[in-house]
A and B are shown apart, each in its own frame.
Chain A
Amino acid sequence: MTAADPRPEVYDRPEAYQEVALVELVDRLLDKGVVLAGDITLSVAGIDLAHVSLRLLVSSTERMLQERHE
């Protein structure tokens, strides 16, 4: 880090902010809210959903932080 750090990119680039907003949306829809049905079976071409949502969270955040440090 340098002495004159730019503001974190998410403050200035709408696309970076949109990524956080998407992560927040997906996190809420998939992991929160009222659980009416005991089992929610969702698949994305047979891939376990928990891994899909985790990848989405991780990759979005990592990408944003990478862009910030470039």
Chain B
Amino acid sequence: MRYVYAIRQPGPIPAMVGLAGAELQAVSADGLEAVCSVSAREPRPEDSDLLRHQAVLEALMAHGPVLPVRFGTRLDDEEVRARLRRHGTALSDGLDRVRGQVEMGVRILGEPPTSRPEAGDGGSAARGSGRQYLMARAAEERAERARRETAEQLAERLHARIAAHATAASLRVLPAEGTLMAGAYLVPRGATGEISEAARALAAEYPELAVVPTGPWPPFSFAPALDEEGAERVS
């Protein structure tokens, strides 16, 4: 059983170990290579395994374009080769897309100021009539939708300001409580400073928000989605 870190065109294997101290190895097919290590146990989504997976990706990125594989992927050699063959075109195209580029993240914390329904209204209404309860609930839902729409409009504006500096970009609005947006931006290696600068400019304009750039990351958010139909037919 192999633990898989990334897919790339064949290249030098970094002098380091992977998860659980296992040696890094390449499993190849059709001009593509999956960087793997022997996997004796289930990977654990804890700091040590997560950070080790990331460390392998960073080392690989020094040698050329890399498509990071989702954490936790364990397959045997034949399955790895079959998937490389099956998805060769999508994977090669994916590598071309990210060649010479890195991913930057910008996470924006906080919320745009909106009026919220006052606490306690719902409670006392609920003890009244069923109709009052339903009206209170409907008002809450309208307020929640309005809050979401305001957040989405703001997030999209902020995202567009940053995305202007990127080759490609993706956005998630309100991905978690207290987080307005999480954006991912594909940029040429030398241009990461433009993203930080754009983030700094937004931070200055919106002091109530925390605008936090991170990266450079391997291109997780710009990896190809593989058509899984074929996987069923792999024997």
Interface residues of B (CB under 8 A from A): 4, 7, 34, 42-46, 50-51, 53-54, 67-75, 79-80, 83, 91, 94, 105, 107, 109-110, 175-179, 182, 203, 207-210, 212, 214, 217-218, 220-221, 223-226, 228, 231
Interface residues of A, count at CB 8 A? 42
Q: When chains A and B are docked, how far (Å) is the Cα of A53 from the Cα of B226?
A: 23
Q: When chains A and B are docked, how far (Å) is the Cα of A56 from the Cα of B44?
A: 15
Q: B177 contacts A26, CB within 8 Å?
A: no
Nearest chain B residue, comparing its CB with the CB of A28: B220
Q: When chains A and B are docked, how far (Å) is the Cα of A53 from the Cα of B50?
A: 12
Nearest chain B residue, comparing its CB with the CB of A61: B178
Closest 10 CB pairs of A and B: A8-B210, A32-B220, A29-B71, A28-B220, A40-B72, A33-B70, A33-B68, A57-B176, A34-B223, A61-B178
Q: Which residues of B contact A54 (CB under 8 A)?
A: 176
Q: When chains A and B are docked, how far (Å) is the Cα of A8 from the Cα of B210?
A: 6
Q: B214 contacts A36, CB within 8 Å?
A: no
Q: B67 contacts A34, CB within 8 Å?
A: yes
Listed A/B pairs (24) with beta-carbon separation below 8 Å: A5-B207, A8-B210, A10-B212, A11-B210, A21-B214, A24-B105, A24-B107, A24-B214, A26-B45, A28-B105, A32-B68, A33-B69, A34-B224, A35-B73, A36-B34, A40-B70, A40-B71, A41-B72, A44-B45, A53-B45, A57-B179, A61-B178, A62-B177, A65-B110
Q: Which residues of A contact B67 (CB under 8 A)?
A: 33-34
Q: Which residues of B contact A17 (CB under 8 A)?
A: 212
Q: Tell me the minimal C-beta distance from A25 to chain B in angstroms.
A: 6
Nearest chain A residue, comparing its CB with the CB of B80: A36
Instruction: Give the residue among A1, A8, A33, A41 with the most B Cβ atoms within 10 A.
Output: A33
Q: A28 contacts B217, CB within 8 Å?
A: yes
Q: A5 contacts B210, CB within 8 Å?
A: no
